[in-house]
Amino acid sequence: MKSLFKSKNYMIGAIVAVLLLVPCMFLLTACGGNTVKVSTYDELANALAGKCDTIEVTEDIDMKGQLEVGRKVTLNLNGKTLSNSADIWDDGDSKSWSLISVGENGQLTIKGNGKMLAKENDCYAFDVRDGGKLTIENGEFVGNISVVYVNKGSAEIKGGKYSLVQLSPDERFTLNCLDANYKEGSAKIVVTGGEFKNFNPADCLAEGEGTSFVPEGYTANLVEGYYKVVKA
């Protein structure tokens, strides 16, 4: 009887261990080891609102509206394209300015050599507000008036290619900060890499002639219409 009792206890313990393991395995599968793969706008929206550290895009996505980031997350574009076929811009109550907005508590890193293409005469590719932080490692980004607009917070540009489809009156606002916040230091952009069509981040007219987003130790060189930022 004593041996049978021990066997039953071992069996019950094993069953409990399996039951406890199943939810963990489910979470690991859903996030793919802290990575979730998405192929639609709704999946991307849910992933950005979720808990996975990295989001990997597996198909081109038509952005139905602005998506917002309020946590630390990496978006791996994986060579794919995010673009909008319908207008996103709304300067009313919704403040929809961009394909992706990085807001309070948001820390978004972009990598994966993909593309973000804003519809002509519509929105920016990115905006940063309420103290958010945007880091771009690589990729191609096309916006209207601005590609990256920092209202309040910071953007760090390490690489990528940047251009506009809508000018005002030229490319001077490709990277742009809200003037008042830039002057007081609550909006900033730092550029240590990347290529910018007809826009010199080392002489940003949007913030005043001679204003440089390029830190000491780096330089912007004009090559075939693009200013390329490299180490000096």
In a shared domain, residues 12 and 47 = no
pTM over 0.75: yes
In a shared domain, residues 73 and 115 = yes
In a shared domain, residues 17 and 48 = no
In a shared domain, residues 25 and 45 = no
In the chain, the amino acid numbered 50 is: G
Question: Quick one: pLDDT band at residue 30, thresholds 50, 70, 90?
Answer: low
How many angstroms separate the CA atoms of 123 and 145, rounded?
A: 8
What pLDDT, in 10s, does the model give residues 210-227? 999 999 999 999 999 999
Mean pLDDT rounded to a whole number for the chain: 90
How many angstroms separate the CA atoms of 127 and 62, rounded?
A: 18
What pLDDT, in 10s, does the model give residues 58-112? 999 999 999 999 999 999 999 999 999 999 999 999 999 999 999 999 999 999 9
At 20 the pLDDT is: 41
In a shared domain, residues 40 and 22 = no
In a shared domain, residues 192 and 204 = yes
Give me the half-sphere count of Cα atoms (radius 13 Å) on the Cβ side of residue 81.
Answer: 9
Number of domains present in the structure of the chain: 2
Eight-state DSSP code of residue 146:
B
